[in-house]
Amino acid sequence: AQSVTQLGSHVSVSEGALVLLRCNYSSSVPPYLFWYVQYPNQGLQLLLKYTSAATLVKGINGFEAEFKKSETSFHLTKPSAHMSDAAEYFCAVTSSGGYQKVTFGTGTKLQVIP
Amino acid sequence: ETGVTQSPTHLIKTRGQQVTLRCSSQSGHNTVSWYQQALGQGPQFIFQYYREEENGRGNFPPRFSGLQFPNYSSELNVNALELDDSALYLCASSPDRGREQYFGPGTRLTVT
């Protein structure tokens, strides 16, 4: 079984401030982890992925995430928030089984305050 | 390279009716997965098709069914629509059941 928990359904930051979105996972096998972003009335866009290589993963738009096995975490960060970062962010985990079912968290809405 | 496309964009149906949603996978991708995203929730896995065969299914009743065609496009069919079926339906494609999935813009279904 696999699951992800996103702490905080809403996060507000000031423009230029650090963005930290939290994700903890549960998986019975080594996980593959993802962060997706969803803008209003749009589909999901892949921000970054962890696939058992480097534990610090860099993605698009200046985002990065660090895989910490001891903490079962995969938190998303960005040093300086931009107004265009306002969106909903989903953490997701996949299985290493025969089919790649993706299990998503409940999402975190990021508000950026000017 | 054409990304994942879905049609229609929006759809309004009445309870009890049937609906068909369509998805064209990204060029070179032979795997399609369908997800239901209710308002304010994360996407929930419905099922996956790989080379025209169902390759895994989530916790959805049999009235949710699908097809994948030789060109790897796919359909999601929902029979006997219920009010709770109102959601954004997302299609994602990947090569060879790959873990990195590419999502379409979704179809917004409203059941009244």
> Is B99 in contact with A100 (Cβ distance < 8 A)?
yes
Quick: pLDDT tens for A18-67.
999 999 999 877 788 999 999 987 889 999 999 877 889 999 999 999 99
Which three-class secondary structure state does DSSP give residue B85? helix
CA A104 → CA A23, B51, B86, B95, B110, distances in Å? 11, 24, 19, 20, 22
A73 — phi, psi (to 5°)? Answer: -125, 160
Helix (H) / strand (E) element for A58: namely strand A56-58
Mean pLDDT for A9-18 is 97
Question: Mean pLDDT, 10 residues at a time, over chain B (112 residues)?
Answer: 90 98 93 93 93 91 96 96 97 84 94 98
Residues in chain B within 8 Å Cβ distance of A51: 99
Q: Which residue of A33, A44, A48 is the best one to mutate when testing the B interface, meaning the one whose CB has the most B CBs within 10 A?
A: A44
The reply to whether residue A36 touches residue B103, judged by beta carbons under 8 angstroms, is yes
Give residues with Cβ within 8 angstroms of B61, minimum separation 6: none
For residue B54, the cross-strand partners are B49
Q: Do B99 and A42 touch (CB under 8 A)?
A: no
